[in-house]
Each structure stands twice: as structure tokens, then as C-alpha cells.
A and B are shown apart, each in its own frame.
Chain A
């Protein structure tokens, strides 16, 4: 008996990575075709506009123009944070329920697609879009900041030379101005913004696996986001207030809370970078580790729920 011939269409089994890439690319295309990149035009206007926020200052001439650089960074990173978090939550909260409602999910899960592949693909599609958007915004911010820094540097150097400043002071002034311009720490801050958005997207994915509406998922995710900024303080206060805080129950609760809810307090380093401070590499590694931990943790929890879900 000769074996049954296998159709070329059926011969390839496909891999997890291949399927995840297909779903991620599709989710990315879907979001791009929703015209989300129009936001970049708004961002460009804001970054260019922030050049003109040259507020009156009460410091010496050596600091002239520095507040403009701060303004550009403040507005740019602020917009990046806002866009990335809002987009990560809303897009993730939208994609999964929409597939269920339109029954598109049936046709996907009726193919040989494991549910973890579907979840991971959707999440990666959203993250890819956030990453590309942040990269484009970062390029625009860096270009504007570079041009403005050069202008300020040349003006300040001229001023210092005309006043006959010593070489050491000129070098110090130069270093001060450059620290406010585009540098590696600023790129690190943008990476931290992306990591924070990744955590929020993963969390929204988890909530959307059991939520019945996009609105509920979005609101709950935003609540967790704000709690994330206060949970470290609240936990410290709780643990240090009287004997209740030292018991095993309190410690267990605080451990569970700190594991389940992300501590966004750590991401305040972004604000320090905007003020011109350097971001140590160790801190960047720490943030990357935290981002990966929560993303993987939330995806696995999502899979745990989604694997048992009936449609």
C-alpha cells in the first residue's frame, strides 16, 4: 500500500515563532491601517513648538538657553510617555475583544494555532507599533535637540570668549550644555518609556482575557498604572506602621502586591534624565529586567486563563 500523498499546502507544520511573527505582523498592520501614526504629526508640532517655550529666567548668563533644552526634553518625553502608555493599553484592550466579537478568533483558533501563540503575537504586534512610534519620535526629538544644543553652545562659547572666561570654566560650561543635549542617558530614558509601556500592554492583555469589555480593561489598566506609582510608598508605610506591619501576613501581602503590581516608582529615573542627570547602566539593566519579568509574568498568567476560555 502506498502512503497517502500529502498536499504541498499541508506538508509544512509551521513553528511557534513563525506563527507568532505572522500574528504580530498582522496586528501591527491592523493598527497602522487604523491611522495611529497620525499622532506623529501632533508630536512633531509639539516638539517644534517646545523650542519657543523660552521662559524668563533668574539665573546667570551661563545658563541661557538651557531651559529651552529642558523644555524640548520635557515635552518630548512627556508626549512619548502619554502616547506609549495610552496606546499600549487601549490597543491591547481593543484587539482581543474585537476578534471575539467579530468571530475572527474562531477562524484563527480553528487553524493549528496554539492559544499562547495567538496571545504572544497580538502583544508583540502592539509592542512593535509602540517601539516604531517611539523610535520615530526619538529621532525627531534628537534632531531638534541636537540643532538647538549646537545653537546654544555656539552662542554661549561666543559669550564666554568675549568675556575672557578661563579655559577651565569654558570647558565646564561646555560640559553643562552638552549634558542637557542628546546623549546616551536620554536614549536610555526612551527605552525606559518603552519598557513601561510593555508592562502596561502585558497587563492589559491579562485583564482582557477575563474582562467582558474594552472599557473595563482600559479603566482597570489605568488604575493599576497609577497604583504602580504609589504602591512602593504605600507598602513602606504599611510595613513600618506599628506591629501590624511586621507580621508574616503583612509581609506576605506586601510581597504578593509587589510581585503582582509593577512598581513604577523605579521609572522616576526618566525625570532625572530630563533634568540632565546621567542614567547608570546598572539602572537601565535593572529596568529592563523588571520590564521583562512583568511582561513574561502577565503573558503566562494570560495564557493560564485564555487556555481554559470557551468561545
Chain B
């Protein structure tokens, strides 16, 4: 029987910050509510300063809500125990440069109470997962941006959390690194891990998320299943391979004969610049 407790439940979250001029309050989040079921990949999107990061920080207990509640698997997120179930990757993280990749994971693992063989095995497993086995003993000061993001993802996963919170996981990462992180999110979804991410890269959100929320000026303005949100209900798409011009003409004529129907556009579908880049740069890879 599946666990009915949602992975994340935010109810009426309000967060005010004091500005430098006392008495003036800045409302960063204004009554946001959302619910993420276990196993879902949820994307929170919105422009800069819309309240995405504050919502995530409230969920992690890094800021206290002015009003409303946040819960992780039913536990109040202000309780330290609730963080046993959470892994977090902040935007542009800088880990301790004096530690190697393996030492970094060992440090975070020990913070979660892991020791000995269990920890050693977990460190090796995670380094393999994020493809950093060859850099396990290299200090983080020598890591590239993409490698730092991947070791950050590994530290977030060290205690095998059921919920992963990613704040701009691909910020500043090149398309190949970005693709690797996206593939990792797919792998995590297959394992049943709930992922809550926010990103500016809307195409990526569209590719990996089951549900999406759009936040603007601290308020949730749209939320729902991705396919429902982006589908254009009154249009139908047919993509043909090796269709002759005659066939296209026949189909167009057929549509023209149907009352109320119209051909909106015909032409060749385009790939994305990212796919083109990846195809060109990874073509020599085995």
C-alpha cells in the first residue's frame, strides 16, 4: 500500500523580511500553498525575486515562516528531525575547497550519523552515480563548475533521503554537465525519490517535471500537471516521416473539406540548439 503522506505540504506560507529601513517589511512569499506527492518531480518556476528560494529555505527551516506551515513527510520542517529525509543542493554551492570529493561526502555522511563500512560503501556508490570516481581524491578547489554541481548532488543524496530539493541545479553548467544532471534526476525518479526543483531553464523543467508551479511576486499563479498546463486543447499534432508533397497536399485538402477544422501550420519540426550541441560534441564518445 502506498504511503499517503505527501512528501511536501506547504500551507499558506507567508514570509516577510525587514528591509534596511526598519518598520518597512518586504513580503517575499504571500500565501503559497503546494503539495508534492511522494515520487513526483515538481518544478517551481518564476522570475528572479519571485520567492522561489525563500519557499525552499522555509521548507528547509533556514528561514522561519511569518505565517503558514511547511511539512516534510508529515513532519514540521522547523524540526531538525525532518531533515533526515531531505537532501539539498543550493544554487551555486561552494563546498570546502580543502577537502577532496570523497572527504566531502564522508563529512556530510558523518553529519547524518553514518560511520564505517556503510559510509565507505555509500561514498563509492555516490561517486559512481555522479561519475566522479576518477576525481574522488582530488581537492574540490580543482573541480570544474559542473563537477561541483555533481558532488553537490552527491552530498545531497548521502543519507539516502526520500526528498531532494534542488535550487537551480544546472545554473552555470555547460550543456553536457546540464544533461548529466538531468539524467541523474531521471535516475532518481526511477528510484522513487521525490524531487523538488526550481530552475530558470524552462525547457529542462518541462523535460523532467511531472508537475509545475509558477510563482510570481510571491504568489502561486498557476499549478498543475505539466501535460495539462502546456497542452493546447483545441489543436492536434500529427508528425509524419518521409511524407511526399502529394500526401501533405491530400491531408491539407481533407482538412479544408472538414467544417470547423483548419491547418494551422505545416513544415519541418526543428530540433533544439541544445540537442544539436550535444549531438555535435558527443559524437566521438563511445
Interface residues of A (CB under 8 A from B): 1, 4, 7-10, 12-15, 18-19, 22-23, 26, 29-30, 33-34, 102-104, 106-114, 308, 310-311
Known: A110-B62, A113-B111, A308-B64. 8 other contacts (CB 8 A): A9-B118, A12-B114, A14-B110, A22-B107, A106-B93, A111-B159, A112-B111, A113-B80
Top 5 nearest A-B pairs by Cβ distance? A14-B113, A110-B88, A9-B160, A12-B113, A102-B94
Cβ of B96 within 8 Å of any chain A Cβ, yes or no, is yes
B-side interface size class: 35 or more
B143 interfacial contact with A, CB 8 Å: no
Whether A311 contacts B80 by the Cβ 8 Å rule is no
Task: Given the known inter-chain contacts A9-B122, A30-B96, please indicate yes or no for A106 contacting B110, CB distance below 8 A.
Answer: no
* A22 and B110 contacting across the interface, CB-CB below 8 Å: yes
Q: How far is the CA of A131 from the CA of B113 in the complex (A)?
A: 27
Residue contact B111 to A104, C-beta cutoff 8 Å: no
Residue picked from A19, A30, A109, most chain B C-beta under 10 Å: A109
Q: Do the beta carbons of A110 and B83 come within 8 Å of each other? A: yes
- A107's partner among B1, B90, B160 (CB-CB below 8 A) is B90
- Which of B3, B64, B98 is within 8 Å of A33, CB to CB? B98
Contact A106 B1 (CB under 8 A): no
For A7, A12, A13, the residue with the greatest tally of chain B CB atoms inside 10 Å of its CB is A12
> In the complex, what residues of A have CB within 8 A of residue B107's CB?
22, 26
Contact of B86 among A26, A34, A110, A311 (CB under 8 A): A110
Report Cα–Cα, A298/B130, bound state, in Å: 42
A13 to B109 CA separation, bound complex (whole angstroms): 11
Asked whether B115 is an interface residue with its Cβ less than 8 Å from the other chain, the reply is yes
Establish whether residues A12 and B90, one from each chain, have CB atoms under 8 Å apart when the complex forms.
no
Tell me if B114 and A107 are in contact (CB < 8 A): no
Chain A residues within 8 Å of B99, by CB: 29
Contacts of A14 on B, CB cut-off 8 Å?
A: 110-114
Question: In the complex, A18 Cα to B91 Cα: how many Å?
Answer: 29
Task: Contact check, A311 vs B114: say whether CB atoms are below 8 A apart.
Answer: no
Q: Which residue of B lies closest to A105 (CB)?
A: B62
B80 touches A112 (CB 8 A): yes
Q: Is A9 a contact of B111 with CB atoms below 8 Å?
A: no
**A185–B87 alpha-carbon span in the complex (Å):** 52
Establish whether residues A106 and B115, one from each chain, have CB atoms under 8 Å apart when the complex forms. Answer: no
Could you tell me if A18 and B113 are in contact, using CB atoms closer than 8 angstroms?
A: yes
Asked if B61 CB lies within 8 Å of chain A CBs, one says yes
Tell me if B183 is interfacial: C-beta within 8 Å of chain A: no
Q: Are A103 and B113 in contact (CB under 8 A)?
A: no
A233 to chain B, nearest CB (A): 38
Max chain B C-beta neighbours (<10 A), residue from A22, A26, A111: A111
